[in-house]
């Protein structure tokens, strides 16, 4: 079958296991987060792009009419993975900066010296709309091969009207969920953050709100402060956007209380979050999105994901895929780090890259579970046991990817 055909029915048969986060609710917290349903010797039947049945091969009845078949011998089916935090719209690379950091320079020093994010801004502005579309398409393909069937991507490397809007259009055109990260850094042509925000909110937000689903801000020393983040998010909320924050990455600046106060969908990073922040987040409906690759690459402390989960917070995991702090598109690697560095179980990690990540994107009614009625987005693992998703660190664990009931990629 070629990927251009869209069979109305696809039977994935003879699977070693079909596995899904249990239940129907989202987000999933506490003890519920680790609950996983496993069907051994399984099949998954997809109809019209949705999952129609998940069951045991022994119970598979006769199917009349045309049915495309995909053999799953030796494979495990999981829901397609959901990457709820990426910066996939960028041009250029930061390999030279990577070397400088390997030699001891810090990420914050490079940023303050006009490198870091701002060097990607320069390359992204020069790429043009076609260049950006090609970049997102390339990154989307990398993500797909790692099992990601739903992705969010942020603007934030344009920071001018034309490039921010072109970035959001490119993300949407490639099937991503676009987030306007208009407050990522202060571009060099503005004297300070307030002057830049005057421009962004007046000139970019009205158009960005027509394309994006959410707005995001980098609340951090050297980026935007608490008052500026509030101003940016309140204006974005008034324009109809869901709210996200980059918070507590290097220092606590009040991101969690602000997220809770504004009813944000998520606060992301949390490497610097202390006990009060853990308690406040756990008592709220805001999802804590943890990004262990960024912590690992920048040599930061890992976010307190175990404490958050134990306190009853809703947590999600994401790659943070970007050219600086996390040049890694692999959610399987993220689940590995979750189990080895964050103290999460494989079941908790699975829930955090499926149903809870889908909730952050407002899509938990359609994606994140392998159950009747959900979109027929599946990852087939080359493994006899679904826990190889996290266990096979950095390996070729993804064997095939089905999206909307169609085989999109096979190794």
Q: Closest approach of Cβ 44 to ligand NIG, in Å?
A: 34
**Position closest to ligand NIG via CB:** 324
Residue 116, CA atoms < 13 Å, CB-side half-sphere: 22
**Cα–Cα dist 243/202, whole Å:** 18
Of 174, 320, 329, 375, the one binding Fe ion by CB under 5 A: 320
Binding to Fe ion by residue 377, rule CB under 5 A?
Answer: no
Query: Whose Cβ is closer to ligand NIG: residue 77's or residue 315's?
Result: 315
- The owner of tokens 């990629």 is 409
Question: What's the burial of 254, exposed, middle or buried (CB within 10 Å: 0-12/13-18/19+)?
Answer: middle
Residues 6+ apart with CB under 8 A from 411: 382, 396, 398, 399, 400
From 117-125, 143-151, 315-323, 359-367, span contacting Fe ion (CB under 5 A): 315-323
Q: Which of 85/363 has CB closer to ligand NIG?
A: 85
Long-range contacts (CB closer than 8 Å, 24 or more residues apart) made by 272-275 = 272/248, 272/300, 272/301, 273/248, 273/303, 273/304, 273/308, 275/307
Residue 117 or 242 with smaller CB distance to ligand NIG: 117
Q: How far is the CB of 318 from Fe ion (least distance, A)?
A: 8
CB closest to Fe ion, residue no? 320
How far apart, in whole angstroms, are the C-alpha atoms of residue 191 and residue 332?
42
User: 151 in helix, strand or coil?
Assistant: strand
x/- site string to Fe ion, residues 66 to 85, per CB under 5 A? --------------------
Give 253 or 325: the residue with its C-beta nearer to ligand NIG: 325
**Residue 185 CB, nearest approach to ligand NIG (Å):** 8
Q: Considering CB distances under 5 to 8 angstroms, the limit depending on partner class, which of ligand NIG, Fe ion, none binds residue 115?
A: none
In angstroms, what is the minimal distance from the CB of 399 to ligand NIG? 30
Instruction: Work out what residue 405 binds among ligand NIG, Fe ion, none; the CB cut-off runs from 5 to 8 Å by kind.
Output: none
CA distance 354 to 318: 10
Instruction: List C-alpha distances in Å: 152 to 83, 296, 313, 362.
Output: 6, 22, 22, 11
* CB 240, min distance to ligand NIG, A: 24
Number of residues that bind Fe ion (CB under 5 A): 1
Please identify, among the stretches 62-70, 317-325, 349-357, 382-390, the one whose residues bind Fe ion according to the rule CB under 5 A.
317-325
Residues comprising the chain, all counted: 411
Judged by the rule CB under 6 A, the positions of this chain that interact with ligand NIG are 87, 116-117, 120, 218, 246, 249, 294, 320, 322-325
Residue whose CB is less far from Fe ion, 86 or 146: 86
| 3-state SS assignment for residue 27 | coil
For 355, the 3-state DSSP assignment is helix
Residues that bind Fe ion (CB under 5 A): 320
């Amino acid at each position: 079958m070629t990927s251009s055909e869209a069979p109305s029915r696809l039977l994935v048969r003879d699977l070693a296991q079909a596995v899904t986060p249990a239940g129907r609710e989202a987000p999933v917290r506490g003890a519920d987060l680790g609950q996983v349903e496993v069907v051994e010797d399984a099949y998954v039947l997809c109809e019209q792009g949705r999952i129609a049945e998940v069951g045991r091969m022994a119970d598979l009845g006769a199917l009349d009419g045309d049915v495309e078949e995909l053999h799953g011998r030796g494979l495990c089916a999981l829901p397609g993975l959901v990457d709820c935090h990426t910066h996939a719209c960028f041009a250029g690379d930061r390999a030279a900066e990577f070397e400088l950091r390997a030699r001891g320079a810090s990420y914050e020093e490079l940023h303050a010296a006009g490198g870091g994010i701002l060097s990607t801004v320069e390359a992204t502005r020069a790429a043009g709309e076609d260049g950006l579309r090609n970049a997102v398409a390339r990154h989307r393909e990398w993500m797909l091969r790692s099992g990601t069937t739903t992705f969010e991507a942020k603007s934030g490397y344009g920071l001018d009207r034309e490039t921010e809007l072109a970035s959001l259009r490119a993300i949407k055109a490639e099937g991503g969920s676009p987030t306007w990260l208009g407050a990522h850094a202060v571009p060099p042509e503005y004297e300070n953050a307030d002057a830049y925000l005057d421009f962004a909110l007046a000139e970019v937000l009205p158009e960005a709100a027509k394309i994006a689903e959410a707005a995001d801000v980098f609340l951090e020393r050297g980026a935007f402060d608490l008052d500026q983040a509030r101003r940016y998010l309140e204006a974005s909320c008034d324009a109809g956007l869901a709210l996200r924050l980059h918070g507590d990455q290097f220092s606590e600046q009040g991101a969690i209380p602000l997220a809770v106060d504004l009813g944000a969908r998520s606060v992301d990073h949390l490497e610097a979050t202390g006990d009060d922040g853990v308690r406040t987040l756990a008592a709220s409906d805001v999802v804590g999105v943890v990004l262990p690759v960024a912590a690992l690459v920048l040599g930061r402390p890992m976010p307190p994901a175990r404490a958050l989960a134990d306190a009853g917070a809703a947590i999600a995991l994401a790659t943070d895929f970007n050219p600086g702090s996390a040049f890694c598109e692999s959610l399987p690697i993220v689940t590995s780090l979750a189990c080895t560095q964050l103290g999460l179980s494989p079941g908790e990690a699975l829930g955090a890259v499926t149903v809870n990540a889908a909730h952050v994107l407002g899509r938990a009614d359609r994606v994140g579970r392998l159950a009747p009625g959900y979109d027929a987005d599946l990852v087939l693992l080359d493994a006899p046991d679904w826990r190889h998703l996290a266990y096979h660190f950095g390996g070729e664990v993804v064997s095939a990817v089905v999206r909307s009931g169609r085989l999109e990629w096979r190794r």
